[in-house]
Amino acid sequence: MNTFKKLKQFYWPYKKYFILSLVFLVFVTAITVVYPIILQQTIDNVVYGDQYSLIPYIAGIFILLMIVKGFATYFHQYLGDLFGIVSVYKLRNALYGKLQTLSFKYYDNAKTGDIMSRMTADVEGFRFFLSAGFAELIRIVLLIGLSLAVMFYYSIPLALVTMAAMPFLIIVVFKFDKRVHPAFRKIRKSFGNLNTRVQENISGMNTVKSLSREDFEIGRFSKNNDNYRQNYLKTSYIWAKYFPLMEFIGDVCAVALLTFGGYLVISGSLAPGELVAFFSLVWYIMGPLMNLGFVVNQFSQAKASGERLLEILDAKEDIVEKEDALQTDIKGHVTFKDVTLTYIEDDDAALKNISFDAPPGKVIGLIGATGSGKTSITQLITRFYEAEQGDVLIDGRPVVDYELKKLRSSIGFVLQEPFLFSTSIRENIAYGNPNVTDEQVIDAAKRAQAHDFIMEMPKGYDTMLGERGMGLSGGQKQRIAIARAICVDPSILVLDDATSAVDMETEFKIQKALKEVMKGRTSFIIAHRISSLKHADEILVLEDGKVVERGVHEELVSNNGTYQRIYDIQYQDREAILGTVQI
Amino acid sequence: MANTSNAKDKDRHLTRFHYTVDQAIEKQFNWTQMMRLLVYLKPYSKNYLPAAIIAMMISTAVRLTVPILIGKVAIDIAIKNKDTTMLTYLVVGIGLLYLLSFVGNTFRIKWVNILGQNVIYDLRQHLFSHVQRLSHRFFDSRSAGSILVRIMNDINSLQELFTNGIINLLMDVVTLIGIIVILFVLSPKLALAIMVILPIMFYISTKLRRNIRRSWQEVRIQQSRMNSHLNEGLQGMRITQSFSQEKENGEYFNGVNHGFFESFRGASKKSAMFRPLVEMCNAVGTVILIAYGAHLILLGEANGGIELGTFVAFAFFLGMFWEPISRLGQMYNQLLMAMAASERIFEFLDEKPNVDEKENSYNIEEMKGHIEFDKVEFSYEEGRIALHEISLDIKQGQTIALVGHTGSGKSTIANLISRFYDPTKGVVKIDGHDLRDVKINSLRQKISVVLQDTFIFSGTIMENIRFGNPNATDEEVMEAAKVVGADDFIQRLGEGYGTEVEERGSILSAGERQLLSFARALLADPTILILDEATASIDTETEVKIQKALNRLLKGRTAIIIAHRLSTIRESDNIFVLENGKVLENGNHEELMAKRGEYFGLVKSQFQMLDAM
């Protein structure tokens, strides 16, 4: 219950819908039970009592009641639905808002698929319970209670005989439920596996074809395909076993009713109409009972869903803005003083005692093997992570003093993997600053050497990107990502291996253009190619989170250090080629 | 829509994303398509299909008989005449009938599911196998997601049709006709009066329901838009936070969320009408039964009236009317959805692989690796020629390099060697065999392509390397990894060769993935090896390792290298410089440099650029 209490803020404001829906439910159930009574009245009073004059009254009352019931049913259902959907509307907004504020640290460990299933299946499970599950539980209790009351009123012995079947039914229902749910989970799981198999196959189709492994893939697929079929069939065997059984118990109950009821009618202690009414009432009890297992299961699932949603809502926000955060403009003077960063506690530090000073106008180059800490440095500047020790300063003040929005909108960040959104190229470039004009967008694209290829597309800047949009090459995506970063007019620009897929000629042009843009601003360039950062004002060579060398290209290239080794490897071609022919 | 005119609009972010939602969810009924679907039932037309139908008939017959027994025999004869013996027999008889129905139902559910699942299995297997055979062009023009949807979701939406749909259709028609016939036999007058509600019921189950269904479709569209955004928003979260667009996206999401909320509310408003209307309809039927039925009973059988038992039987049957009608309505919707799904499935099945195997094609035994291009011309599309009359002669064991700008035709040559495409004109030969004459499998088994972006499948490292040759032993896999220099980093991973890697191999660096792909290629032991930009975007230290691995890999094979890196190209036996689908010049590095032609220019400009930077 605790879970529901914690989520109360989302549904309790709408309690009036829920309460009203319950009020209507009481009407609905009460009138439902009236139906067999009317049947009984008709048979016993009209037919056997020869009172045909009662018919108009009975018919009139019946129609009237059914109209009331119709309206009550409508409002019960609609208000119940509304209660659920309006609650999860609020809940979903809250979840989304929360997800926006969670830090990189959270996303390092989270899987998109997992969060997605919480945002869809779990929210839906919770909604279903609010809309229908809880009310259904009440309905079942009410309907069974009222039906039993009417039965006992008509004939206590017959009611007892009929009820004898109930325990059996309850046992079967719960046994069925216990078996069918794990089976359903298995179906879902094997469907998931099948899905993964196909998805991998299609995504890796080039690899499959290049190694000519189609038959091997078909073989693997048919295993998963068969597994899905088998799991599905196993579940349907459970259905085949229990469902007819439940129905059969109901039928046996009806037979018992007919036998004993028949004798009672013959012996004169039961009116024929009452017997007929019993036949309806029996199904008012059996039907909901068969449903009971489902509803109970709904309840436990809604609880589990709620818990998974609370995990998101309660997740720790480790990057928190100060209350009196600075909103002053940022010039872009970045200083690191003895900075140490650890991603996971007790793990090796990702950065160890890093210090450097980058006043506006300076270009810092970062080079080193994968995992040496290049990206970590830049992600401390934007405060995606926080340093464990030491100071990260911008314009002489710790980054934590700045308002996050102010800080990050002053930094143009081009991430390693150029992620683009499902929208036009124009909107993608304007993403960081929705207020830019088209001229600014085009200007940024020109500087990123993207304008020409954009204009070659049939719809130019209105070309849609994303899953179903135009396919762009890696280099084209990187160039749009660069344009996006330039477009926010940043004081600090970070290029994290941002031109790896761009050919040398274009990279050269981009760098020339950036030089112009970044006059008087601070740039950080992470690259594998010496050519990409040899012109930097200071190059930091990183190894295992430590700066092993620093200086300008000319110094580093001849001090027999790591940088020189990289240089030698990259430039061996040149030596070799220059050796053969005089250029 | 955000466009030029409102670039300054402060609400621009509210329409910032565009998600295209699924294709049509339903289609007009189409007989040819239906017949094509039914073909998949054929393998089961002598076992599960008739068995399921018989089982279904048995339980339906019981359902229809019991009310008559209760009404006409129990009430009208046994109870009326106070005949307890008869009542006993009757009760035992009904009990036995129920038992029969119980058995019938058990087998019906079982067989219907076996039938349905087998059909779905066959269909999915057929589609998947077919897709495997389709050419690069097919995959180039479609996103992975859209292919996935057809193999998974579209096939699944036929599941219900093949499992319960067809049998239920039969069952419902039988039940409905059965009830009507029985009612007319029992009392034509009362039956006629009751039939008044039939058209209303049909109306509700088709028209009203379609209306409701449309509004649920709108809900689904809104939902899928919302989910698309959620999914993308999560994947692009780092970008969003880098550009501090959290608030703006929050507002965008509120819009989508609200759209979803409103459509859901609209749909549930309409849906809530459904049950009351159905019940009202039943109520009208009941009132007719009560009023007219009671009148007929009072009239007495002799005067054209009815007995009490008939009245009771009518009451039972009245309650049984709704279910088949409702299911038939649903069935109709299901058919429309199945039409849309099967149309998409058949569209894929009708796609022809663009390289065909001839009927009298043969296996290449013992491929040696001598490749010839004889005046080969190729165009991907009509009028856009990718290769112009290219002639190449690559000797067994040679390493050749293809150099040129993007779009010059390098990859096209590689694709023609593997016969992913056939030349528009001219002939490609290996060891003197025209590729169009040989079995594709025997050809491709001896050719391996290493791509720039190697796909790592989820599974262990061992399984991933073994992908190159499923029959390789663990020792052979490890040997291959050692030879290419991948063993070092694999040993350093948590569980060595047993380490599980995620899809796309996110725990591995680009260089490590590339070493794995070399190991794969080595294990496949190809005669011809094609390296398509295999060493781009890798950090320098790893690249040195890869370079060494490469030399081991190339040994004793015919190799075609497509690369930017001059060091790799330089050692090739023959370098072809391509431009716009033509070979401008060829020769080894020294010859080409001495010639001071295109190649020389290419090398020079690269170094000039390096110096300038």
Backbone angles phi, psi at B521, to 5 degrees: -65, -40
B21 touches chain A (CB under 8 A): no
pLDDT in the model for residue B164: 81
> To the nearest 10°, the Cα dihedral for A168, A171, A173, A178?
-160
| Chain B contact probe: residue of A95, A196, A211 with most B CBs at under 10 A | A211
Distance CA A88, CA B336 (A): 31
Q: With contacts defined as CB-CB under 8 Å, which chain A residues touch B312?
A: 276
Q: Which residues in chain B (370-399) have CB-CB distances under 8 A to chain A?
A: none
B27 CA: distance to closest CA in chain A (Å): 22
Whole-model pTM: value is 0.81
A109 CA: distance to closest CA in chain B (Å): 13
3 state SS for B314-365: HHHHHHHHHHHHHHHHHHHHHHHHHHHHHHHHHHHHCCCCCCCCCCCCECCC
pLDDT in the model for residue B545: 74
Question: Which pLDDT band holds residue A202 (cuts at 50, 70, 90)?
Answer: confident
| Chain A contact probe: residue of B59, B69, B80, B128 with most A CBs at under 10 A | B128
pLDDT in the model for residue A578: 56
**CATH number, domain A1-154+293-318:** 1.20.1560.10
**Any idea what the CATH number is for the domain that residue B567 is in?**
3.40.50.300
Same domain, B216 and B107: no
Question: Which pLDDT band holds residue B475 (cuts at 50, 70, 90)?
Answer: very high
Asked, for residue B521, whether it belongs to a domain, the answer is yes
Same domain, B460 and B400: yes
A308 CA: distance to closest CA in chain B (Å): 17
| Chain B contact probe: residue of A188, A207, A241, A274 with most B CBs at under 10 A | A207
| Contact across the interface for B565 and A226, Cβ inside 8 Å | no
Residue of B nearest to A515 (CA): B613
Same domain, B40 and B144: yes
- Domain ranges (residues) in chain A: 1-154+293-318, 156-269, 325-410+492-507+515-583, 420-489
Q: With contacts defined as CB-CB under 8 Å, which chain A residues touch B3?
A: 462
Q: Shortest CB distance from A198 goes to which of B79, B143, B148?
A: B148
| Contact across the interface for B105 and A247, Cβ inside 8 Å | yes
Distance CA A47, CA B35 (A): 54
Same domain, B173 and B207: no
**Any idea what the CATH number is for the domain that residue B158 is in?**
1.20.1560.10
Mean pLDDT of B350-359: 82
Q: Which residues in chain B (224-253) have CB-CB distances under 8 A to chain A?
A: 227-228, 230-250, 253
Q: Shortest CB distance from B7 goes to which of A203, A205, A437?
A: A437
Q: What angle do CA A300, A303, A305 make, to 5 degrees?
A: 110
Closest C-alpha to B531, from B493, B571, B495:
B571
Same domain, B582 and B439: yes
| Chain A contact probe: residue of B9, B22, B613 with most A CBs at under 10 A | B613
Asked which of A216-225, A438-447, B445-454 is least confident by mean pLDDT, the reply is B445-454
Same domain, B592 and B456: yes
Same domain, B259 and B136: no
Quick: pLDDT tens for B367-397. 888 999 999 999 877 777 888 888 989 999 8
Q: With contacts defined as CB-CB under 8 Å, which chain A residues touch B536?
A: 500-501
Distance CA B501, CA B499 (A): 6
Closest C-alpha to A181, from A308, A296, A310, A306:
A296
CB B293 within 8 A of CB B311: yes
Q: How far apart are the first and last CA of chain B?
A: 42
| Contact across the interface for A569 and B536, Cβ inside 8 Å | no
Q: With contacts defined as CB-CB under 8 Å, which chain B residues touch A505?
A: 605, 609
Quick: pLDDT tens for A445-502. 999 899 988 998 888 999 888 654 456 777 888 899 999 999 988 999 999 888 777 7
Please give the structure tokens belonging to residue B404.
């040129």
B125 touches chain A (CB under 8 A): yes
SS3 B242: helix
B441 touches chain A (CB under 8 A): yes
Residue % of chain A over a pLDDT of 70: 96
| Contact across the interface for B117 and A233, Cβ inside 8 Å | yes
Regarding the domain delimited by A325-410+492-507+515-583, which CATH topology (the fold level of the hierarchy) does it fall under?
Rossmann fold (3.40.50)
Residue B483, beta-bridge partner list:
none
| Contact across the interface for B279 and A434, Cβ inside 8 Å | no
| Contact across the interface for B113 and A574, Cβ inside 8 Å | no
Between chain A and chain B, the number of residue pairs with CB atoms below 8 A apart is 425
A1 CA: distance to closest CA in chain B (Å): 27
| Contact across the interface for B105 and A92, Cβ inside 8 Å | no
| Contact across the interface for B448 and A211, Cβ inside 8 Å | yes
B314 CA: distance to closest CA in chain A (Å): 12
| Contact across the interface for A404 and B133, Cβ inside 8 Å | no
Same domain, B125 and B247: no
Asked, for residue B322, whether it belongs to a domain, the answer is no
| Contact across the interface for B275 and A77, Cβ inside 8 Å | yes
pLDDT in the model for residue B236: 85
DSSP string, A547-572: EEEEE-HHHHTTSSSHHHHHHHHHHH
B442 touches chain A (CB under 8 A): no
Contacts of B323 (CB under 8 A, 6+ apart): B172, B175
| Chain A contact probe: residue of B101, B222, B244, B542 with most A CBs at under 10 A | B244
Quick: pLDDT tens for A1-59. 688 889 999 999 999 999 999 999 999 999 989 888 888 888 888 777 877 788 888 88
Same domain, B283 and B206: yes
Residue of B nearest to A581 (CA): B593
Mean pLDDT of B315-333: 81
Same domain, B534 and B427: yes
* CB neighbour burial string for A68-92, b if at least 16 within 10 angstroms, e if fewer: ebbebbbbbbbbbbbbbbbbbbbbb
A296 CA: distance to closest CA in chain B (Å): 24
Residue of A nearest to B520 (CA): A211
Same domain, B204 and B278: yes
| Contact across the interface for B139 and A245, Cβ inside 8 Å | no
Mean pLDDT of A254-281: 86
Q: With contacts defined as CB-CB under 8 Å, which chain A residues touch B257?
A: 89, 92-93, 96
B78 touches chain A (CB under 8 A): yes
Same domain, B107 and B194: no
Distance CA B225, CA A31 (A): 42
B569 touches chain A (CB under 8 A): no
Quick: pLDDT tens for B582-602. 888 989 888 888 888 888 887
Q: Which residues in chain B (514-553) have CB-CB distances under 8 A to chain A?
A: 517, 520-521, 524, 530, 536-544
| Contact across the interface for B87 and A209, Cβ inside 8 Å | no
* Model confidence at A245: pLDDT above 50: yes
* Model confidence at A63: pLDDT above 80: yes
Helix (H) or strand (E) holding B28: none
pLDDT in the model for residue A484: 93
Tally of structural domains, chain B = 3
Pick from B186, B210, B226: which residue ends a domain? B186
* Model confidence at B3: pLDDT above 50: no
Closest C-alpha to B64, from B104, B35, B26, B9:
B104
Pick from B144, B170, B186: which residue ends a domain? B186
Asked, for residue B67, whether it belongs to a domain, the answer is yes
Domain A420-489 classified CATH 3.30.70.890? Answer: no
CA B280, distance to chain mean position in Å, is 43
Residue % of chain A over a pLDDT of 90: 36
* Model confidence at B496: pLDDT above 60: yes
* Domain assignment of residue B117, given as a range: 28-186
Asked, for residue B266, whether it belongs to a domain, the answer is yes
| Contact across the interface for A200 and B544, Cβ inside 8 Å | no
B28 CA: distance to closest CA in chain A (Å): 26
More confident residue, B591 or A572: B591
Q: With contacts defined as CB-CB under 8 Å, which chain B residues touch A258?
A: 70, 74, 90-91, 94
**Per-chain mean pLDDT for chain B:** 84
| Contact across the interface for B269 and A78, Cβ inside 8 Å | yes
| Contact across the interface for A52 and B295, Cβ inside 8 Å | yes
pLDDT in the model for residue B1: 35
| Contact across the interface for A202 and B147, Cβ inside 8 Å | yes
A371 CA: distance to closest CA in chain B (Å): 9
Quick: pLDDT tens for A424-459. 999 999 998 888 899 999 999 999 899 988 998 888
Pick from B155, B186, B217: which residue ends a domain? B186
Q: Shortest CB distance from A243 goes to which of B109, B125, B298?
A: B109
* Model confidence at B5: pLDDT above 50: no
